[in-house]
């Protein structure tokens, strides 16, 4: 019997196109969205709990310390929307505070993963009987378009340093699209990781337990699973480095030896020189001046920034 794989050759799904494009490029690259299949999403959840990965913990601390201030600044009778909500675990803190200020609330978590949204709905439903949760399955583009169909005064959450994976130009384009779909009185809460010592940043992307290494190598494992490729994961090294000039952490996969890899489903042979890298991620780190600039360039006005004591992470309230 023909499997679905045999129906189309060469494969032309998103993974196939990304691999064909990125592995033919010089220098080689693969897009960071490839991290997030089921296995990769589970690994990312594990990363958020690592001692070296300060981002999630620090942003949660900021919410815990300043939720009343944040919601007071955002204004009365709000509907919450979260872009890339995942399981919305940090959002609980803001929702709890919101329900102190108003008796009922609406929450629209938007995410590509129905599994994650399902978990969010179950968890939040149990915690907050007065919260109505309306999940929306969509990518960023679809999610931003969905904003216009949500009535009432909105607070849009774009937290977790998700914006850090965008190139500066793309981040402005993304924020502009959000802005266009908001009305006067609506607000945006943006979470960004801040520039700090590389002694702190590098270990966050190269932890002692090797979880981030496994997360990075999962893109190769994914090409093996989805495209029948024969990447030998032991012959690639996880590399995390601070690119000061571009203000970003970078992740790469470095070929330990000269080798060739075959991707049968896209009929592609790829050869690697010893030490050659595949660039898999940029994670931009901001200064408050940079945050102010991207918000201004996209038509927002930065109203307030909350930070932890060490100023490692920033949560910014912006207005249309």
Which residues, 165 to 184, sit near ligand AVJ by CB under 6 A? 165
Q: Shortest distance, CB of residue 48 to ligand AVJ, whole angstroms?
A: 8
Binding-site string for ligand AVJ from residue 251 to residue 290, where x marks contact by CB under 6 A and - marks none: ------------------------------x-x-------
* Total of chain residues touching ligand AVJ, rule CB under 6 A: 11
d(CA 51, CA 46): 11
Q: Shortest distance, CB of residue 247 to ligand AVJ, whole angstroms?
A: 13
Q: Shortest distance, CB of residue 203 to ligand AVJ, whole angstroms?
A: 11
Of 9-17, 157-165, 176-184, 304-312, which part binds ligand AVJ (CB under 6 A)? 157-165
211 is written with which tokens? 């979880």
Torsion of Cα atoms, 236 then 275 then 12 then 250, to 10°: 80
Contact pick of 41, 58, 162, 255 for ligand AVJ (by CB under 6 A):
162
Contact pick of 11, 55, 116, 124 for ligand AVJ (by CB under 6 A):
55
Q: Shortest distance, CB of residue 277 to ligand AVJ, whole angstroms?
A: 16
Instruction: Tell me whether residue 55 or residue 67 sits nearer to ligand AVJ (CB atom).
Output: 55
Q: Shortest distance, CB of residue 70 to ligand AVJ, whole angstroms?
A: 20
Contact pick of 41, 58, 161, 255 for ligand AVJ (by CB under 6 A):
161
Of 72-80, 96-104, 158-166, 177-185, which part binds ligand AVJ (CB under 6 A)? 158-166
d(CA 102, CA 291): 30
Q: Shortest distance, CB of residue 174 to ligand AVJ, whole angstroms?
A: 13
Which residues, 180 to 239, sit near ligand AVJ by CB under 6 A? 205, 212
Instruction: Tell me whether residue 105 or residue 201 sits nearer to ligand AVJ (CB atom).
Output: 201
The CB-nearest residue to ligand AVJ is: 283
The verdict on 66 binding ligand AVJ (CB under 6 A) reads: no
Task: List the one residue out of 108, 102, 106 whose CA is nearest residue 77.
Answer: 102
Q: Residues interacting with ligand AVJ, by CB under 6 A? A: 47, 55, 160-162, 164-165, 205, 212, 281, 283
């Amino acid at each position: 019997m023909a499997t679905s794989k045999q129906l189309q050759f060469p494969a032309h799904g998103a993974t196939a196109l990304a691999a064909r494009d990125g592995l033919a490029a010089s220098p080689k690259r693969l897009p960071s969205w490839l991290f997030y299949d089921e296995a990769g999403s589970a690994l990312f959840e594990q990363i958020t709990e690592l001692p070296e990965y300060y981002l999630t913990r620090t942003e949660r601390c900021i919410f815990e310390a300043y939720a009343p201030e944040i919601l007071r600044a955002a204004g009365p009778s709000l509907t919450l929307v979260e872009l890339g909500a995942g399981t919305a675990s940090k959002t609980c803190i803001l929702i709890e505070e919101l329900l102190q200020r108003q008796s009922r609330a609406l929450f629209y978590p938007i995410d590509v993963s129905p599994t994650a949204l399902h978990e969010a709905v179950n968890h939040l439903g149990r915690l907050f009987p007065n919260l109505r949760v309306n999940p929306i399955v969509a990518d960023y583009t679809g999610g931003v378009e969905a904003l216009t169909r949500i009535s009432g005064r909105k607070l849009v959450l774009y937290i977790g340093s998700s914006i850090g994976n965008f190139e500066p130009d793309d981040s402005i384009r993304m924020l502009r699209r959000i802005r266009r779909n908001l009305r006067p009185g609506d607000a945006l809460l943006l979470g960004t990781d801040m520039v700090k010592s590389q002694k702190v940043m590098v270990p966050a992307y190269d932890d002692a337990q090797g979880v981030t290494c496994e997360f990075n190598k999962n893109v190769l494992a994914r090409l093996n699973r989805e495209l029948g490729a024969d990447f030998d994961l032991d012959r690639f090294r996880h590399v995390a480095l601070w690119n000061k000039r571009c203000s970003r952490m970078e992740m790469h996969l470095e070929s330990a030896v000269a080798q060739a890899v075959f991707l049968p489903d896209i009929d592609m042979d790829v050869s690697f020189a010893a030490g050659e890298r595949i660039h898999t991620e940029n994670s931009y780190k901001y200064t408050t001046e940079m945050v102010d600039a991207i918000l201004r360039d996209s038509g927002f006005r930065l109203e307030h920034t909350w930070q932890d004591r060490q100023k490692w992470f920033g949560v910014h309230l912006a207005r249309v």
